[in-house]
Chains A and B, each alone.
Chain A
Amino acid sequence: MINHPNKELGGWQLFRKYFSELWFGIRTLLKGLRITSGYFFSPKEIITEQYPENRATLKMFDRFKGEVIMSHTAENRHRCTGCGICEMNCPNGSIQVITRKETTPEGKSVRGLDKHIYHLGMCTFCGLCVKSCPSDALAFGQKFEHAVFNRHHLTKVLNQPGSLLQKEIKAS
């Protein structure tokens, strides 16, 4: 390599070595500059996303894990039977399933979902709840703008108020 002081070199050789090294250094720098200036002058290489101005067109991938949601049909029906399997599988206690006694039209009393509480602030998006739910009630939503001023806003009730269990799903 260059720049190892060579004691045996004479004055003229040292002089030449100095300038050849200088030239070598400048050449490598120019090489790099050619690349950067190439990008500077080619606007089609710009990949910066103008967030948040592009909010209207910004679309996340369908599988993006932004938050856990419970899907509801148009008639405000969800699929959660309140079995509590997701709560058991969650590694950090982000889910609390609160059930209540319900009476079916036939007069039987069954356990149904009262509140499906989800702590977004604790969730690590491991996906175990969504995967383990036997009635496919949970899914991942794509919303990712979760900043709030008070952390209790991060605790959500996933089942919408007044929602009922979808007919074809059997309550336990």
Chain B
Amino acid sequence: MAQTSDSHQVIIGEHEQYTINMGPQHPSTHGVLRFELSLEGETVVGVRSHCGYIHRGIEKMCEVSTYQQIIHLTDRMDYLSAHINNEAVSLCVEKALGIEVPERVKVIRTILSELTRVGSHLLWWSAFGMDMGALTTFFYGMRDREKILDIFEESCGGRLLQSFICPGGLMHDVHPNFVARIRELIPYLRKKLPEYDRLLTGNIILQERTRNIGVLSRQQAIAWGVTGPSGRGSAFSCDVRVHEPYSAYDRVKVNEVLYHQGDTFARYRVRLDEIHESLSILEQLIDQIPEGNDYAVKMKPIIKLPAGDYYQRVETARGELGVYMVSDGEKYPVRVKFRSPNFSNLFVIEQLAVGHKIADLVAISGSLDLVIPDIDR
């Protein structure tokens, strides 16, 4: 009860709602995203998400970019899945031109994608721990992710935004150390991952704060188009790698990680299990890189797609990324549309958070693993 003056009494009663903004600058939204919360005390009764603070018009910029130039823009959507985004555009262009890339390129692309996924999940784990108040996880996750970034830096020249996979293959060949470094990485991570479980997964605070919090049913996941680990935590089988294999996924065994609970803890477990799964895919592929050094097929300096529309989907670390391109036969596309996973994953939070506390909203949004630039593009 707050009193301003005798005649003017403001009473915050039990059932009175008030609105508060979380963001756009808020440490737990991992970017510029605003949640407009309706609260009753500390309980969330409504969430409206406002996005667009980091809209750069990437789709529009694509309309005045050649197909090679589009690649470096896609890096900047979901920056934690840069390789996979590049691959999506490259696959779409190759599909339109009817080009078959060499086997070696396919395998290397898949390896890079899986490394990206591991790196992204490690970063997510670090940040999720921090959202929950466990600062240590951030150091451990970053420490292990650094090994992956080193591989990228040595081969591609960039740590986060590599622009390495391009229409026709790769920008240049991978570094001679590439295979050796991955061979080192797999046992290293296998050794460290149980540590993660002991440090955070079994932790009482994390369990209490994530179990039965933000339960997403399978129907809801499908209705809202929640894909990726967030959807798979609700038993929604949506892994593009399994259902529509691209690149070298058709020759490896990919086990789709599915959990049925649909709560925050299930989404947490899916991601950690996917790291193990990605490591086993890497293990299967690392000996399969064909000899030689063909890293690309010769492309024309200016690519012109035949008139028509093309669609390609891939599985990024956060879900299904679709690339839709319309071409009229010129060197620029007429329209490029990205079906970004985070955009669909974001809005389900309006359903999940209702009835929980504000602190749980942080846990839920953390478990959806949102990358804001991918929402706004």
Q: Are B171 and A131 in contact (CB under 8 A)?
A: yes
Q: Are A31 and B207 in contact (CB under 8 A)?
A: no
Q: How far is the CB of B298 from chain A (nearest CB, A)?
A: 13
Q: Does B292 touch A at the CB level, under 8 Å?
A: no
CA distance A89 to B161 in the complex (A): 18
A25 touches B204 (CB 8 A): yes
Residues of A within 8 A of B73 (CB): 91
Write out the residue numbers on chain B whose beta carbons fall within 8 Å of the beta carbon of A131: 171-172
A84 to B209, CA, bound (A): 59
Chain A, residue nearest B155 (CB): A63
The stretch among B29-37, B194-202, B341-349 that forms the contact with chain A is B194-202
B-side interface mostly: helix
For residue B133, CB closer than 8 A to chain A, the reply is no
Contact A91 B72 (CB under 8 A): yes
Among the 9-residue stretches B63-71, B108-116, B307-315, the one with 4 or more Cβ atoms under 8 Å from chain A is B63-71
CB-CB under 8 A from A36, the residues of chain B are: 136, 199
Residues from chain A with Cβ under 8 Å of B161 in the complex: 124-125
A56 within 8 A of B: no
Q: Is the CB of B68 within 8 A of A128?
A: yes
B153 within 8 A of A: yes
- A107, chain B: closest CB distance, angstroms: 33
Bound: A73/B204 CA distance, A: 64
A91 and B136 contacting across the interface, CB-CB below 8 Å:
no
Given the interface pairs A1-B212, A25-B204, the reply to whether A65 lies near B158 with Cβ below 8 Å is: yes
The reply to whether B195 and A124 contact each other, CB–CB distance below 8 Å, is no
Interface string of A123-153 (1 = CB under 8 A from B): 0111110011000000010000000000000
List 21 interface pairs A-B (beta carbons < 8 Å), by A numbering: A25-B204, A28-B203, A31-B199, A32-B198, A32-B200, A60-B153, A61-B154, A63-B153, A63-B154, A63-B155, A63-B157, A63-B175, A64-B153, A85-B301, A89-B68, A91-B65, A91-B69, A125-B157, A128-B68, A128-B72, A132-B301
Given contacts A32-B199, A63-B153, A63-B154, 18 further A-B contacts (CB under 8 A): A1-B207, A3-B208, A24-B204, A29-B204, A31-B198, A31-B199, A35-B199, A36-B136, A47-B143, A47-B146, A60-B153, A61-B153, A61-B175, A63-B155, A125-B163, A126-B69, A131-B171, A140-B157
Q: What 8 pairs between A and B have smallest CB-CB spacing?
A: A126-B72, A25-B204, A91-B69, A65-B157, A63-B157, A28-B204, A61-B154, A32-B199
